[in-house]
Structure 1
Amino acid sequence: MVKCPAPFLSKTYELIERPENGHVVSWSEDGTSFVVWSPQEFSEVLLPKYFKHCNFSSFVRQLNTYGFKKSASGRWEFRHEKFRRGRRQELGEIRRKRCEPSIFPSTLEPCKKKEAPDMDSSDDQLLLEENKSLQRQNSELLSQIAQFKDLQKKLLNCLSQYVSTST
Protein backbone atom coordinates (compact mmCIF):
# COMPACT_ATOMS: atom_id res chain seq x y z
CA MET A 1 0.00 0.00 0.00
CA VAL A 2 1.45 3.35 -1.07
CA LYS A 3 1.37 6.02 1.64
CA CYS A 4 0.49 9.56 0.70
CA PRO A 5 3.36 11.95 1.50
CA ALA A 6 2.83 15.00 3.69
CA PRO A 7 2.05 18.15 1.65
CA PHE A 8 5.21 19.83 2.99
CA LEU A 9 7.37 17.05 1.57
CA SER A 10 5.58 17.00 -1.79
CA LYS A 11 5.85 20.76 -2.19
CA THR A 12 9.52 20.78 -1.19
CA TYR A 13 10.29 17.98 -3.65
CA GLU A 14 8.37 19.80 -6.40
CA LEU A 15 10.18 23.11 -5.93
CA ILE A 16 13.58 21.37 -5.99
CA GLU A 17 12.65 19.43 -9.14
CA ARG A 18 11.65 22.51 -11.13
CA PRO A 19 14.56 23.46 -13.44
CA GLU A 20 13.63 27.16 -13.32
CA ASN A 21 14.40 27.16 -9.57
CA GLY A 22 17.88 25.64 -10.03
CA HIS A 23 19.78 28.85 -9.35
CA VAL A 24 17.99 29.16 -5.98
CA VAL A 25 17.60 25.52 -4.87
CA SER A 26 18.69 22.25 -6.47
CA TRP A 27 19.71 18.68 -5.84
CA SER A 28 23.31 17.98 -4.89
CA GLU A 29 25.45 16.41 -7.58
CA ASP A 30 24.73 12.85 -6.37
CA GLY A 31 21.04 13.56 -5.68
CA THR A 32 21.18 12.51 -2.01
CA SER A 33 20.62 16.02 -0.65
CA PHE A 34 19.47 19.44 -1.76
CA VAL A 35 21.08 22.87 -1.47
CA VAL A 36 19.43 26.25 -1.01
CA TRP A 37 21.90 28.39 -2.96
CA SER A 38 20.17 31.70 -2.32
CA PRO A 39 18.31 31.73 1.01
CA GLN A 40 17.13 35.30 0.50
CA GLU A 41 15.58 34.63 -2.91
CA PHE A 42 14.27 31.29 -1.64
CA SER A 43 12.51 33.13 1.21
CA GLU A 44 11.20 36.03 -0.84
CA VAL A 45 10.15 34.21 -4.03
CA LEU A 46 9.74 30.45 -3.59
CA LEU A 47 8.46 30.08 -0.03
CA PRO A 48 5.46 32.40 -0.58
CA LYS A 49 4.65 30.61 -3.83
CA TYR A 50 4.70 27.11 -2.30
CA PHE A 51 4.04 27.62 1.42
CA LYS A 52 2.27 30.99 1.82
CA HIS A 53 4.98 32.40 4.11
CA CYS A 54 8.50 33.74 3.64
CA ASN A 55 10.20 32.58 6.82
CA PHE A 56 13.32 30.53 6.03
CA SER A 57 13.78 29.62 9.70
CA SER A 58 10.29 28.10 9.76
CA PHE A 59 11.09 26.09 6.65
CA VAL A 60 14.28 24.76 8.30
CA ARG A 61 12.38 23.90 11.51
CA GLN A 62 9.83 22.01 9.42
CA LEU A 63 12.64 20.05 7.74
CA ASN A 64 13.97 19.20 11.19
CA THR A 65 10.59 17.85 12.30
CA TYR A 66 10.76 15.38 9.41
CA GLY A 67 14.27 14.25 10.32
CA PHE A 68 16.29 16.20 7.75
CA LYS A 69 19.85 17.05 8.77
CA LYS A 70 22.01 19.96 7.66
CA SER A 71 24.81 18.14 5.88
CA ALA A 72 27.39 20.79 4.99
CA SER A 73 28.92 23.70 6.79
CA GLY A 74 29.07 26.96 4.93
CA ARG A 75 25.91 26.35 2.90
CA TRP A 76 22.29 25.37 3.41
CA GLU A 77 22.41 21.71 2.37
CA PHE A 78 19.90 19.22 3.78
CA ARG A 79 19.76 15.43 3.66
CA HIS A 80 17.25 12.69 4.47
CA GLU A 81 17.72 9.04 3.51
CA LYS A 82 14.22 8.86 1.99
CA PHE A 83 14.35 12.25 0.21
CA ARG A 84 16.38 11.72 -2.97
CA ARG A 85 16.30 12.78 -6.59
CA GLY A 86 14.25 10.38 -8.68
CA ARG A 87 12.68 8.64 -5.67
CA ARG A 88 9.45 10.56 -5.16
CA GLN A 89 7.72 7.28 -4.23
CA GLU A 90 9.73 7.14 -0.97
CA LEU A 91 8.30 10.43 0.32
CA GLY A 92 5.34 8.59 1.88
CA GLU A 93 7.77 6.73 4.15
CA ILE A 94 9.00 9.94 5.79
CA ARG A 95 7.25 10.54 9.08
CA ARG A 96 7.08 13.59 11.27
CA LYS A 97 8.94 13.30 14.56
CA ARG A 98 6.74 13.07 17.63
CA CYS A 99 7.27 16.03 19.91
CA GLU A 100 5.78 18.00 22.76
CA PRO A 101 3.15 20.63 21.94
CA SER A 102 4.79 23.59 20.27
CA ILE A 103 5.13 27.04 21.79
CA PHE A 104 5.63 28.52 18.35
CA PRO A 105 3.04 31.07 17.23
CA SER A 106 0.32 29.51 15.12
CA THR A 107 0.56 32.22 12.48
CA LEU A 108 3.57 33.52 10.65
CA GLU A 109 4.31 37.14 9.95
CA PRO A 110 3.33 38.25 6.46
CA CYS A 111 6.13 38.67 3.97
CA LYS A 112 7.78 42.05 3.88
CA LYS A 113 9.89 43.50 1.12
CA LYS A 114 13.43 43.65 2.43
CA GLU A 115 16.18 46.02 1.54
CA ALA A 116 19.58 44.49 0.93
CA PRO A 117 20.90 43.51 4.37
CA ASP A 118 23.64 45.60 5.95
CA MET A 119 25.55 42.45 6.80
CA ASP A 120 28.08 40.79 4.54
CA SER A 121 25.96 37.68 4.06
CA SER A 122 22.27 36.81 3.99
CA ASP A 123 23.25 33.66 5.92
CA ASP A 124 24.42 35.87 8.80
CA GLN A 125 21.08 37.69 8.78
CA LEU A 126 19.15 34.41 8.82
CA LEU A 127 21.26 33.11 11.68
CA LEU A 128 20.63 36.31 13.64
CA GLU A 129 16.88 35.97 13.08
CA GLU A 130 16.99 32.32 14.13
CA ASN A 131 19.03 33.26 17.21
CA LYS A 132 16.48 35.91 18.25
CA SER A 133 13.67 33.40 17.78
CA LEU A 134 15.50 30.81 19.88
CA GLN A 135 16.16 33.39 22.61
CA ARG A 136 12.43 34.21 22.75
CA GLN A 137 11.55 30.52 22.91
CA ASN A 138 14.15 29.96 25.64
CA SER A 139 12.71 32.81 27.66
CA GLU A 140 9.19 31.39 27.31
CA LEU A 141 10.38 27.93 28.36
CA LEU A 142 12.19 29.33 31.40
CA SER A 143 8.99 31.10 32.39
CA GLN A 144 7.01 27.87 32.01
CA ILE A 145 9.58 25.98 34.10
CA ALA A 146 9.26 28.57 36.87
CA GLN A 147 5.46 28.21 36.78
CA PHE A 148 5.69 24.41 36.96
CA LYS A 149 8.15 24.57 39.86
CA ASP A 150 5.77 26.87 41.71
CA LEU A 151 2.89 24.50 41.01
CA GLN A 152 5.00 21.55 42.20
CA LYS A 153 5.74 23.34 45.49
CA LYS A 154 2.05 24.07 46.02
CA LEU A 155 1.08 20.47 45.28
CA LEU A 156 3.73 19.09 47.63
CA ASN A 157 2.62 21.53 50.32
CA CYS A 158 -0.99 20.46 49.88
CA LEU A 159 -0.06 16.79 49.93
CA SER A 160 2.07 17.29 53.03
CA GLN A 161 -0.84 18.98 54.85
CA TYR A 162 -3.21 16.21 53.77
CA VAL A 163 -0.86 13.46 55.00
CA SER A 164 -0.24 15.21 58.33
CA THR A 165 -3.98 15.73 59.03
CA SER A 166 -4.95 12.15 58.17
CA THR A 167 -2.44 10.53 60.54
Structure 2
Amino acid sequence: MGQRALPAPFLMKTYELVDDQTTNEVIGWNEGGTTFVVWKTDDFAKDLLPKYFKHNNFSSFVRQLNTYGFRKIVPDKWEFANENFKRGQKELLAQIRRRKTATSAPGAAKSAAGPSSPSNSGNDLGSTSMSSPDSKNAGSVDAPAARAQLTDLSDENRKLKRDNEMLTSELARAKRHCSELIAFLTNYVKVAPDQIDHIMRQESSGPTLSGLDGEIGSTGHNNGNYEEDNDNEIMKEENGEGLKLFGVWLKGDGKKRVREENLGFGGVHPKK
Protein backbone atom coordinates (compact mmCIF):
# COMPACT_ATOMS: atom_id res chain seq x y z
CA MET A 1 0.00 0.00 0.00
CA GLY A 2 2.80 2.36 0.90
CA GLN A 3 4.52 1.73 -2.43
CA ARG A 4 1.40 2.68 -4.35
CA ALA A 5 1.10 5.92 -2.41
CA LEU A 6 4.41 7.31 -3.66
CA PRO A 7 3.97 10.75 -5.25
CA ALA A 8 4.74 11.40 -8.88
CA PRO A 9 8.38 12.26 -9.70
CA PHE A 10 7.30 15.67 -11.02
CA LEU A 11 5.72 16.53 -7.68
CA MET A 12 8.77 15.36 -5.75
CA LYS A 13 11.14 17.43 -7.87
CA THR A 14 8.89 20.48 -7.68
CA TYR A 15 8.68 20.21 -3.89
CA GLU A 16 12.45 19.91 -3.58
CA LEU A 17 12.89 22.87 -5.90
CA VAL A 18 10.49 25.07 -3.92
CA ASP A 19 11.82 23.94 -0.55
CA ASP A 20 15.46 24.65 -1.46
CA GLN A 21 16.48 27.64 0.66
CA THR A 22 19.33 28.57 -1.68
CA THR A 23 16.93 29.46 -4.49
CA ASN A 24 14.43 31.54 -2.52
CA GLU A 25 15.18 34.62 -4.63
CA VAL A 26 13.98 32.75 -7.69
CA ILE A 27 11.29 30.41 -6.33
CA GLY A 28 9.99 29.73 -2.82
CA TRP A 29 7.10 29.38 -0.39
CA ASN A 30 4.80 32.21 0.55
CA GLU A 31 4.81 33.36 4.17
CA GLY A 32 2.19 30.83 5.24
CA GLY A 33 3.78 27.95 3.33
CA THR A 34 0.50 27.15 1.57
CA THR A 35 1.53 28.30 -1.89
CA PHE A 36 4.74 28.79 -3.82
CA VAL A 37 5.80 31.70 -6.04
CA VAL A 38 8.13 31.89 -9.02
CA TRP A 39 9.70 35.33 -8.52
CA LYS A 40 12.06 35.38 -11.48
CA THR A 41 10.72 33.39 -14.40
CA ASP A 42 13.72 34.05 -16.67
CA ASP A 43 16.27 32.82 -14.15
CA PHE A 44 14.00 29.94 -13.23
CA ALA A 45 13.73 28.78 -16.85
CA LYS A 46 17.41 29.31 -17.60
CA ASP A 47 19.05 27.88 -14.47
CA LEU A 48 16.67 25.69 -12.49
CA LEU A 49 14.42 23.96 -15.01
CA PRO A 50 17.32 22.33 -16.90
CA LYS A 51 18.75 21.11 -13.61
CA TYR A 52 15.55 19.44 -12.38
CA PHE A 53 13.51 18.71 -15.52
CA LYS A 54 16.05 18.73 -18.38
CA HIS A 55 14.28 21.51 -20.30
CA ASN A 56 14.01 25.30 -20.09
CA ASN A 57 10.40 25.83 -21.14
CA PHE A 58 8.52 27.68 -18.41
CA SER A 59 5.19 27.28 -20.23
CA SER A 60 5.66 23.52 -20.23
CA PHE A 61 6.28 23.60 -16.48
CA VAL A 62 3.05 25.58 -15.96
CA ARG A 63 1.05 23.13 -18.07
CA GLN A 64 2.45 20.27 -16.02
CA LEU A 65 1.28 21.98 -12.83
CA ASN A 66 -2.18 22.31 -14.33
CA THR A 67 -2.37 18.58 -14.99
CA TYR A 68 -1.84 17.96 -11.26
CA GLY A 69 -4.56 20.36 -10.17
CA PHE A 70 -2.47 23.40 -9.24
CA ARG A 71 -4.33 26.68 -9.64
CA LYS A 72 -3.23 30.24 -10.11
CA ILE A 73 -3.88 32.48 -7.12
CA VAL A 74 -3.56 36.03 -8.46
CA PRO A 75 -3.40 37.23 -12.06
CA ASP A 76 -0.31 39.44 -11.71
CA LYS A 77 2.02 36.95 -10.04
CA TRP A 78 3.18 33.41 -10.76
CA GLU A 79 1.80 31.99 -7.50
CA PHE A 80 0.43 28.45 -7.47
CA ALA A 81 -1.52 26.47 -4.89
CA ASN A 82 -2.70 22.94 -4.27
CA GLU A 83 -4.37 21.82 -1.08
CA ASN A 84 -1.92 18.92 -0.80
CA PHE A 85 1.20 20.93 -1.62
CA LYS A 86 2.29 22.64 1.61
CA ARG A 87 5.53 23.44 3.33
CA GLY A 88 6.64 20.77 5.83
CA GLN A 89 3.94 18.31 4.73
CA LYS A 90 5.67 16.34 2.04
CA GLU A 91 3.61 13.25 2.82
CA LEU A 92 0.55 14.97 1.30
CA LEU A 93 2.08 14.80 -2.14
CA ALA A 94 0.91 11.19 -2.51
CA GLN A 95 -2.67 12.42 -2.49
CA ILE A 96 -2.18 14.59 -5.55
CA ARG A 97 -3.42 12.74 -8.59
CA ARG A 98 -2.79 13.48 -12.21
CA ARG A 99 -5.91 14.37 -14.13
CA LYS A 100 -7.27 11.52 -16.23
CA THR A 101 -7.72 13.76 -19.26
CA ALA A 102 -4.15 14.91 -19.01
CA THR A 103 -3.59 15.30 -22.72
CA SER A 104 -6.70 17.36 -23.38
CA ALA A 105 -7.14 19.09 -20.04
CA PRO A 106 -4.44 21.74 -20.48
CA GLY A 107 -5.93 22.92 -23.75
CA ALA A 108 -9.48 22.85 -22.37
CA ALA A 109 -8.49 24.69 -19.20
CA LYS A 110 -6.56 27.21 -21.24
CA SER A 111 -9.53 28.03 -23.49
CA ALA A 112 -12.01 28.12 -20.58
CA ALA A 113 -9.96 30.32 -18.26
CA GLY A 114 -9.66 33.20 -20.73
CA PRO A 115 -6.88 35.78 -21.04
CA SER A 116 -6.94 36.96 -17.40
CA SER A 117 -4.68 34.16 -16.10
CA PRO A 118 -0.92 34.65 -16.41
CA SER A 119 -0.44 30.90 -16.43
CA ASN A 120 -2.70 30.68 -19.43
CA SER A 121 -0.78 33.56 -20.93
CA GLY A 122 2.32 31.46 -20.54
CA ASN A 123 0.61 28.59 -22.32
CA ASP A 124 -0.51 30.88 -25.09
CA LEU A 125 3.03 32.12 -25.49
CA GLY A 126 4.28 28.58 -25.70
CA SER A 127 1.73 27.56 -28.29
CA THR A 128 2.42 30.70 -30.28
CA SER A 129 6.13 30.01 -30.33
CA MET A 130 5.43 26.51 -31.55
CA SER A 131 3.01 27.59 -34.25
CA SER A 132 5.02 30.49 -35.59
CA PRO A 133 7.53 28.24 -37.39
CA ASP A 134 4.63 26.63 -39.20
CA SER A 135 3.46 30.06 -40.27
CA LYS A 136 6.93 30.87 -41.56
CA ASN A 137 7.07 27.57 -43.41
CA ALA A 138 3.71 28.31 -45.01
CA GLY A 139 5.05 31.64 -46.17
CA SER A 140 8.17 30.03 -47.56
CA VAL A 141 6.03 27.55 -49.48
CA ASP A 142 4.07 30.41 -51.04
CA ALA A 143 7.23 32.34 -51.96
CA PRO A 144 8.02 30.39 -55.17
CA ALA A 145 4.44 30.83 -56.37
CA ALA A 146 4.68 34.55 -55.69
CA ARG A 147 7.96 34.79 -57.59
CA ALA A 148 6.47 32.89 -60.54
CA GLN A 149 3.47 35.21 -60.56
CA LEU A 150 5.77 38.24 -60.50
CA THR A 151 7.72 36.84 -63.45
CA ASP A 152 4.50 36.31 -65.42
CA LEU A 153 3.38 39.86 -64.69
CA SER A 154 6.76 41.24 -65.80
CA ASP A 155 6.57 39.29 -69.07
CA GLU A 156 3.03 40.50 -69.67
CA ASN A 157 4.09 44.07 -68.98
CA ARG A 158 6.93 43.83 -71.50
CA LYS A 159 4.54 42.38 -74.09
CA LEU A 160 2.08 45.22 -73.54
CA LYS A 161 4.89 47.75 -73.96
CA ARG A 162 5.91 46.17 -77.27
CA ASP A 163 2.30 46.18 -78.48
CA ASN A 164 1.94 49.81 -77.47
CA GLU A 165 5.09 50.75 -79.40
CA MET A 166 3.77 48.94 -82.49
CA LEU A 167 0.41 50.72 -82.25
CA THR A 168 2.15 54.07 -81.83
CA SER A 169 4.25 53.38 -84.92
CA GLU A 170 1.17 52.34 -86.93
CA LEU A 171 -0.66 55.49 -85.89
CA ALA A 172 2.27 57.71 -86.86
CA ARG A 173 2.48 55.99 -90.26
CA ALA A 174 -1.27 56.42 -90.83
CA LYS A 175 -1.03 60.11 -89.94
CA ARG A 176 1.88 60.54 -92.34
CA HIS A 177 -0.05 58.90 -95.19
CA CYS A 178 -3.07 61.07 -94.45
CA SER A 179 -0.91 64.20 -94.55
CA GLU A 180 0.61 63.12 -97.88
CA LEU A 181 -2.86 62.49 -99.31
CA ILE A 182 -4.11 65.90 -98.20
CA ALA A 183 -1.03 67.57 -99.68
CA PHE A 184 -1.62 65.72 -102.96
CA LEU A 185 -5.26 66.82 -103.10
CA THR A 186 -4.37 70.40 -102.29
CA ASN A 187 -1.49 70.72 -104.77
CA TYR A 188 -2.77 68.75 -107.77
CA VAL A 189 -6.55 68.78 -107.53
CA LYS A 190 -6.73 72.26 -106.03
CA VAL A 191 -9.28 71.13 -103.47
CA ALA A 192 -9.82 73.53 -100.59
CA PRO A 193 -9.04 72.25 -97.06
CA ASP A 194 -12.68 72.52 -95.96
CA GLN A 195 -13.74 70.39 -98.93
CA ILE A 196 -11.13 67.77 -98.05
CA ASP A 197 -12.44 67.70 -94.50
CA HIS A 198 -15.97 67.28 -95.84
CA ILE A 199 -14.87 64.40 -98.07
CA MET A 200 -13.15 62.65 -95.18
CA ARG A 201 -16.24 62.98 -92.98
CA GLN A 202 -18.47 61.62 -95.73
CA GLU A 203 -16.17 58.64 -96.28
CA SER A 204 -16.01 57.79 -92.56
CA SER A 205 -19.82 57.84 -92.30
CA GLY A 206 -20.48 55.29 -95.05
CA PRO A 207 -19.13 53.27 -97.95
CA THR A 208 -19.81 56.07 -100.48
CA LEU A 209 -19.26 59.78 -100.61
CA SER A 210 -22.54 61.54 -101.28
CA GLY A 211 -24.04 64.90 -100.68
CA LEU A 212 -21.66 66.83 -102.95
CA ASP A 213 -22.81 68.47 -106.19
CA GLY A 214 -20.91 65.98 -108.34
CA GLU A 215 -22.23 62.83 -106.55
CA ILE A 216 -18.69 61.88 -105.61
CA GLY A 217 -18.37 58.19 -104.84
CA SER A 218 -21.51 57.09 -106.70
CA THR A 219 -21.41 54.58 -109.51
CA GLY A 220 -20.26 56.25 -112.74
CA HIS A 221 -20.39 55.33 -116.44
CA ASN A 222 -16.86 56.14 -117.70
CA ASN A 223 -16.46 53.10 -120.04
CA GLY A 224 -17.85 50.97 -117.18
CA ASN A 225 -14.50 51.07 -115.45
CA TYR A 226 -15.32 53.23 -112.40
CA GLU A 227 -14.64 51.55 -109.06
CA GLU A 228 -15.66 52.59 -105.58
CA ASP A 229 -12.73 53.52 -103.36
CA ASN A 230 -13.83 52.72 -99.81
CA ASP A 231 -10.32 53.06 -98.40
CA ASN A 232 -9.62 56.53 -99.87
CA GLU A 233 -6.84 55.14 -102.05
CA ILE A 234 -5.79 56.64 -105.36
CA MET A 235 -7.03 54.60 -108.28
CA LYS A 236 -5.66 54.27 -111.78
CA GLU A 237 -7.84 53.91 -114.84
CA GLU A 238 -6.55 51.29 -117.24
CA ASN A 239 -8.45 52.58 -120.34
CA GLY A 240 -6.62 55.88 -120.51
CA GLU A 241 -3.60 57.76 -119.38
CA GLY A 242 -5.48 59.55 -116.65
CA LEU A 243 -5.43 59.21 -112.90
CA LYS A 244 -8.71 59.31 -111.01
CA LEU A 245 -9.36 60.14 -107.32
CA PHE A 246 -12.83 59.91 -105.74
CA GLY A 247 -14.33 59.82 -109.28
CA VAL A 248 -12.41 62.93 -110.44
CA TRP A 249 -9.95 62.69 -113.35
CA LEU A 250 -6.64 64.19 -112.29
CA LYS A 251 -4.62 63.71 -115.52
CA GLY A 252 -5.45 62.77 -119.07
CA ASP A 253 -4.85 64.39 -122.49
CA GLY A 254 -3.05 67.24 -120.78
CA LYS A 255 -5.97 68.36 -118.56
CA LYS A 256 -8.24 67.18 -115.78
CA ARG A 257 -11.49 65.51 -116.83
CA VAL A 258 -14.76 64.70 -115.14
CA ARG A 259 -17.47 62.24 -115.99
CA GLU A 260 -19.33 63.75 -118.92
CA GLU A 261 -20.91 66.08 -116.39
CA ASN A 262 -19.71 69.08 -114.49
CA LEU A 263 -18.47 67.29 -111.38
CA GLY A 264 -16.99 69.41 -108.67
CA PHE A 265 -16.26 69.46 -104.96
CA GLY A 266 -18.99 71.35 -103.13
CA GLY A 267 -20.20 72.98 -106.36
CA VAL A 268 -16.73 74.19 -107.39
CA HIS A 269 -15.67 73.03 -110.86
CA PRO A 270 -12.13 71.70 -111.15
CA LYS A 271 -9.78 74.15 -112.81
CA LYS A 272 -8.57 73.33 -116.29
TM-score by length of 2: 0.39
State how far apart, in whole Å, the 1-side matches of 2:124 and 2:99 are. 26
CA distance in structure 1 between the partners assigned to 2:68 and 2:123 by the alignment = 21
Which of 126, 133, 145 does residue 130 from structure 1 map onto? 126
Using the alignment, how far apart are the partners of 1:97 and 1:133 within structure 2? 26
Distance in 2, Cα, partners of 1:14 & 1:100: 23
Partners of 1:99 and 1:46 in 2: CA distance: 28
1:92 is the counterpart of 2:94: yes
Equivalents in 2 of 1:33, 1:62: separation in Å?
16
CA displacement at 1:86 relative to structure 2: 0.5
Alpha-carbon separation, structure 1, partners of 2:52 and 2:125: 22
**Larger Cα Rg: Structure 1 or Structure 2?**
2
Aligned to 2:235: none
Matched residue, 1:34 = 36
The amino acid across from 1:132 in the alignment is: T
Q: How far apart are the structure 1 equivalents of 2:41 and 2:21?
A: 17
- Letter aligned with residue 130 of structure 1: G
CA RMSD of aligned residues (A): 2.6
Alpha-carbon distance, 1:92 to partner: 0.6
Structure 1's consecutive aligned runs of 4 or more residues displaced over 3 angstroms after TM superposition are: 125-128
Name the counterpart of 2:54. 52
2:29, 2:52 → 1: CA distance?
Answer: 18
Which residue in 2 is equivalent to 1:76?
78
Q: How far apart are the structure 2 equivalents of 1:18 and 1:52?
A: 18
What does 1:5-16 correspond to in 2, within 5 Å?
5-16=7-18
Q: SS at the partner of 1:10?
A: helix
Structure 1 counterpart of 2:255: none
Amino acid in the other structure paired with 2:61: F
CA distance in 1, matches of 2:96, 2:102: 19
Q: In the TM superposition, what whole-angstrom CA distance separates every residue of 1:32-77 from its partner, at most 9, and x where no partner exists?
A: 1000000000000000000000000000000000000011121100
% identical aligned pairs: 50
**1:101 & 1:74 partners in 2: Cα distance?**
27
CA gap of 1:63–1:101, structure 2 versus 1, over 3 A, is closer
Matching residue's letter, 1:34:
F
Report the Cα offset of residue 131 of structure 1.
5.4
* Residues 66-101 of structure 1 deviation map (CA, whole Å, 9 limit, x = unaligned): 000011121100000000001100101100001164
Output the CA distance in 2 between the equivalents of 1:50 and 1:73: 26
**Residue equivalent to 1:112:** none
Alignment of 1:102-117 (within 5 A): none
Q: Which of the numbers 7, 16, 19 marks the counterpart of 1:17? A: 19
Residue type of the partner of 1:28? N
More RCO (CA 8 Å, sep 6+)? 1
1:61 is aligned, of 52, 60, 63, to 63
When residues 126 and 49 of structure 1 are mapped into structure 2, their CA distance, relative to the original with a 3 A threshold, is same
For residues 82 and 63 of structure 1, the distance between their equivalents in structure 2, rounded to whole angstroms, comes to: 13
